[in-house]
Structure 1
Amino acid sequence: MDASLGQAPPKRILIVGAGISGAVLARELAGAGHSVIVQDERRHVAGNCHTAQDPATGIMVHEYGPHIFHTADEEVWAYVTRFAEMMPFRHRVKAMAGGQVYSLPINLHTINQLFGRQMSPQEARAFIAGQCASDIEEPQSFEDQALRFVGEKIYATFLRGYTRKQWGVEPAELPASILKRLPLRFDYDDGYFDHPHQAIPRRGYTEMVKAILAADRVELRLGTAFEGAPPEGVDHLIYTGPLDRYFDRDLGPLGYRTLDFERIEAPCGDVQGIAVMNYCDEETPHTRVTEHRHFAPWAEAAPDRSLCFREYSRDAGPGDTPYYPLRLLNDRKRLSQYVERAKATSGVTFVGRLGTYAYLDMDRAIGRALETARVLNRTWAQGGKAPAFVHDP
């Protein structure tokens, strides 16, 4: 018996979902001496981070939309670098609005270009402060947040139409917390993220997740749907799928947005000169175009061919891939009901982006999975009952 388990016998654990959260939990629990089965209804690992080399062009494609790993968590960074060669990648985004191309996030160049000025950082700060709706003291909605911190013109140019397309509702209906993820800069830095570690695995996320799962006492079953209950002989279930789906959505579905992708092959080595171009005007039906060769400039792809995808956002139906939790008022009420149901269900722990109905960047998903594994191992070693949630939704 593994010493880390103390006096508790090893458990047989089923993990539903072979994405990043499920893979990290499998590795850590197996490392503590437990026997782990990981199953996924898809025929690949890595969930929505799945990457694969396009056979026609040699380009590494992010099959469910681009993912850039970024973190300030040193434990998480050390963890991923155990399993993949992480290639530095500085993510930059441009935005098409009113027939012009701007830099995102909104920075000093964006501000000067939009307002036709040549302001210094100090002048721009004062100018934007004058644009803001100072009467909104505690922003409650996305729209409040935008008007309070960037003002009407920036909001109307870059955020209002794009938000309506992306979320399918009025910005006044969305929580202010969504906009807090978007920085406003008063210098010419056009990097999308501020974290010290920003990278993409050289061989893609799927190979990284395969490496995490390549451990003794881990059995992988792909193309295997979860039937609603763990099979005989399983001591504990870890569920990383949608929380409402576990309960057959009998309280009603939680709201998600999904994405449709339109593939565009081009007979040239560079279509748009940037990995991501956002389309902010509401009249343009797609939200952005991603050119995937730019996500892996080190790869040996065909020099005279490129591959782009137009993205369209819409409400997710029962058979669609859920991407973004809406968390509108009705969703939050329904979520609290599902959480109470989950806490009353023994033998199951819900984790991950879908299991906790939360938008999690990859580093936070890994950090939470590591913490969940520690809590479960400690609880079982002490003879306790595993919680339904280590991190409440």
Structure 2
Amino acid sequence: MFDWLIVGAGFAGSVLAERLATQRGERVLVIDKRNHIGGNAYDRYDAAGVLMHQYGPHIFHTNSQAIVDYLSAFTEWRPYEHRVLAQVDGQLLPIPINRTTLNKLYGLSLSTDEEAEAFLQTLAEPVDEIRTSEDVVVSRVGRELYEKFFRGYTRKQWGVDPSELDKSVTARVPTRVNEDDRYFADQFQCMPAGGYTRMFEKMLDHPGIKVMLNARFEEIRNIIPFRRMIFTGPVDEYYGFRFGRLPYRSLQFEHVTLDKPWHQPVGVVNYPQTEDYTRITEYKHLTGQEHSRTSLTYERSAAEGEPYYPVPRPENAALYKQYEALAEQEKDVWFVGRLATYRYYNMDQVVGQALATFRRIHTALSEVESAGPAALAAAN
């Protein structure tokens, strides 16, 4: 008998397993349908000996000291500030758009934030009500930059035009008037020094935690006894797609190793105008590894396959609300993570959600335990 069954060995499941085992002394079984831990953050050394990310680039960034402190118990950190270039009109230009982007693209010599802001104002088009991803960009930088940097990339990534997507998608990408070419502006930007998989291994290394890989929830849910559950998979799958399938975008990865030390000047290059892939990642920029060869990933978006990104459209949010209503009625089942709550979360946000969930669980169970043996027996 396990105290907990945790479905999924990614950030949400692993953090909760660690907390439940170390802070409450409970027995936890973590299962995952894949043959490895770490979820989509899983990294490995490829045949050439290059450390790469199996499911595309994962860059850790956060403004939360508490989340950094928690994860630091399981890893040391390598400082890394992520930079992305976009191939636009035959040039490699910084994205998010900044003053350097404008100067290179238009042959300008803007030298101050004020000059860059004034120039953007000449491009921006007023939008009465910002509802879609197209509205966000056009109202800030105008239609020409929208077409060059955003529309094609978004159509490849999401399979629909930005005018059909919620404003949250492009609102995640800022526009800057200074020369800051970092992709993120968070206070903490770093990578696990030994890789993500090593961090997960340490997180799950506890005598109270058992990990079972290549294990599907539907195959073992009625075989292995447990008292309570944490589910981090797709919530619609948990309920047998009762109301229909929640739409997700999937990804396809083509991993390549080249016989040269470097391929591109930054970790990620986006292709909003050309190519069928969305971006190329070169991992040595991220990891700091020294190697005579280099490994890349060509990334393509797809309608079918493993679910990666919830599709932010009003009708999908309404469908999720039906599943959420069922989830809220569950006794002793908690739904945590991107797939289980149908939200686009960064890694630090998933860690924060998992830590907050543990605090709620601990508080609730502590109240039951303090009520005496009869209450505890009823809860179990």
- Hey, what does 1:315 align to over in structure 2? 303
TM-score by length of 2: 0.93
Residue identity matched to 2:348: D
The match for 1:261 among 245, 253, 256 is 253
The match for 1:326 among 295, 305, 311 is 311
Distance 1:358 1:325 in 2: 6
* Displacement of 1:340: 1.3
- Hey, what does 2:137 align to over in structure 1? 146
- Hey, what does 1:367 align to over in structure 2? 352
2:173 aligned with 1:182, yes or no? yes
- Hey, what does 2:101 align to over in structure 1? 110
What is the DSSP-based 3-state SS (H/G/I as helix, E as strand, rest coil) of the residue aligned with 2:225? coil
Q: Structure 2: 5+ residue runs without aligned partners?
A: 370-374, 376-380
2:54 aligned with 1:54, yes or no? no
**1:228-252 C-alpha deviation (Å, 9 max, x unpaired):** 7454531111000011111121311
Distance 2:258 2:333 in 1: 48
Distance 1:346 1:217 in 2: 23
* Displacement of 1:190: 0.6
What is the DSSP-based 3-state SS (H/G/I as helix, E as strand, rest coil) of the residue aligned with 1:346? coil
2:324 aligned with 1:339, yes or no? yes
Distance 1:224 1:97 in 2: 44
The match for 1:20 among 11, 19, 24 is 11
Distance 1:256 1:365 in 2: 18
- Hey, what does 2:378 align to over in structure 1? none
| 1:14/1:230 contact within 8 Å kept | no
What is the DSSP-based 3-state SS (H/G/I as helix, E as strand, rest coil) of the residue aligned with 1:383? helix
Shift in alpha-carbon separation, 1:11–1:259, aligned structure 2, 3 A: closer
What percentage of aligned pairs have identical amino acids? 38
2:229 aligned with 1:249, yes or no? no
| 1:17/1:38 contact within 8 Å kept | yes
Residue identity matched to 1:307: S
TM-score by length of 1: 0.90
Q: Structure 1: 5+ residue runs without aligned partners?
A: 1-9, 386-393
Distance 1:361 1:157 in 2: 26
- Hey, what does 2:372 align to over in structure 1? none
Distance 2:195 2:154 in 1: 29
Mapping of residues 1-393 of structure 1, within 5 Å? 12-31=3-22, 32-56=24-48, 58-119=49-110, 120-134=112-126, 136-227=127-218, 229=221, 231=223, 233-281=225-273, 283-297=274-288, 299-301=289-291, 303=292, 305-316=293-304, 320-383=305-368
Residue identity matched to 1:313: S
What is the DSSP-based 3-state SS (H/G/I as helix, E as strand, rest coil) of the residue aligned with 1:207? helix
* Displacement of 1:276: 0.5
Q: Following TM superposition, where does structure 1 have runs of at least 4 consecutive aligned residues deviating by more than 4 angstroms?
A: none
| 1:44/1:222 contact within 8 Å kept | yes
* Displacement of 1:354: 0.9
Residue identity matched to 1:372: T
What is the DSSP-based 3-state SS (H/G/I as helix, E as strand, rest coil) of the residue aligned with 2:200? helix
**1:58-107 C-alpha deviation (Å, 9 max, x unpaired):** 11010000101001101000011110011001100110012111111111
Distance 1:264 1:223 in 2: 26
Pairs aligned (count): 367
Distance 2:37 2:81 in 1: 26
Distance 1:330 1:63 in 2: 32
**1:38-72 C-alpha deviation (Å, 9 max, x unpaired):** 1111111000000001122x110100001010011
Shift in alpha-carbon separation, 1:11–1:267, aligned structure 2, 3 A: closer
Tell which deviates more after alignment, 73-82 or 305-314. 305-314
Distance 2:222 2:269 in 1: 44
Higher helix share: 2
Distance 2:240 2:320 in 1: 14
Distance 1:264 1:26 in 2: 35
Distance 1:124 1:196 in 2: 25
Shift in alpha-carbon separation, 1:220–1:113, aligned structure 2, 3 A: same
* Displacement of 1:263: 2.5
Distance 2:364 2:282 in 1: 46
